[in-house]
């Protein structure tokens, strides 16, 4: 359907609705209120995702100092971070499911134990 035909169709539907010859579709949507998290809950969620503070911060799009402050109780997360935390609380596997993070085995040498976070 061309843009012109689509717009024309929409306008005709709007006119019919205004005349009362057709009913508009409606839906009720409920959005779960944002949860509040204390420092222990935030740390537990992070631990359940098996992420360090640095990786968790990268995943959430905040600084590692922000995650550190949340876990120390100095600051608390706001809107989007609280929504993501509530989703992670229900399903800690979300980061892998949606390929936001990828886990790899760490290379550990016997002479020098080290690993690199990606």
Q: For the full predicted model, state whether its pTM sits above 0.85.
A: no
Rounded CA gap, 19 and 107, in Å?
71
| Residue pLDDT tens, the chain, 118 long | 788 889 999 898 889 889 888 887 788 999 999 999 999 999 999 999 999 999 999 999 999 999 999 999 999 999 999 999 999 999 999 999 999 999 888 777 655 544 455 5
Considering Cα of 76, then 37, then 70, then 49, what sign does the dihedral take?
A: negative
Rounded CA gap, 49 and 95, in Å?
8
Pick the CATH number of 39-97 from 1.10.260.40, 3.40.430.10, 3.10.129.10, 3.80.10.10: 1.10.260.40
């Amino acid at each position: 359907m061309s843009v012109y035909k689509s717009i024309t169709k929409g306008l005709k539907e709007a006119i019919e609705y205004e005349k009362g010859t057709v009913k508009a579709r409606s839906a009720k949507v409920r959005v779960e209120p944002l949860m509040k998290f204390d420092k222990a809950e935030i740390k537990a969620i992070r631990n359940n995702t098996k992420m360090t503070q640095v990786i968790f911060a990268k995943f959430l799009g905040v600084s590692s100092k922000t995650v550190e402050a949340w876990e120390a109780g100095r600051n608390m997360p706001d809107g989007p971070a609280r929504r993501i935390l509530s989703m992670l609380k229900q399903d800690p596997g979300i980061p892998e499911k949606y390929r936001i993070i990828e886990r790899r085995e760490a290379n550990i040498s016997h002479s020098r134990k080290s690993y690199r976070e990606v």
